[in-house]
Amino acid sequence: MATKLRPERLNELRQALVAKRRQLEDEVGRSVVYEKGLDDDTTKDLGDQANTSYTREFQFELGNGDRRLLREVLTALRKLDEGGFGECERCGEPIGEKRLEALPFARYCIECQRRLEREDKAAAG
């Protein structure tokens, strides 16, 4: 039972998702190019090697977040095409229009998102 949005509103959300997809594809592409520029020249001193290693790890973590978000955006676009867009993946209820406006790739309604965050916090200790 996905959110019942006007076709014009769905088109606006699709445009926002496509723009976000392009941005993330650019970011992921740039991080890959930057990482390739970090060579492992063994003639560097240990400080330079440590700095290169740290920079590579930092870029990898940034890229992981972008890749995760890109997957979520692509999933939202697929749901727009196939149906199910705007439906909470946990409870099946519609995701509020204001939430979709803020996060068009949202997977959960606000209440389920809060529950998941509390569960994650409790699991982390």
Model confidence at 91: pLDDT above 90: yes
Assigned fold of 7-124: Four Helix Bundle (Hemerythrin (Met), subunit A) (1.20.120)
**Burial class, 50, CB count within 10 angstroms (exposed 0-12 / middle 13-18 / buried 19+):** exposed
User: 55 vs 5, which has greater pLDDT?
Assistant: 5
Beta-carbon contacts of residue 46 (< 8 Å; ≥ 6 apart): none
What's 94's DSSP letter?
A: B
Mean pLDDT of 53-79: 79
Q: pTM value? A: 0.71
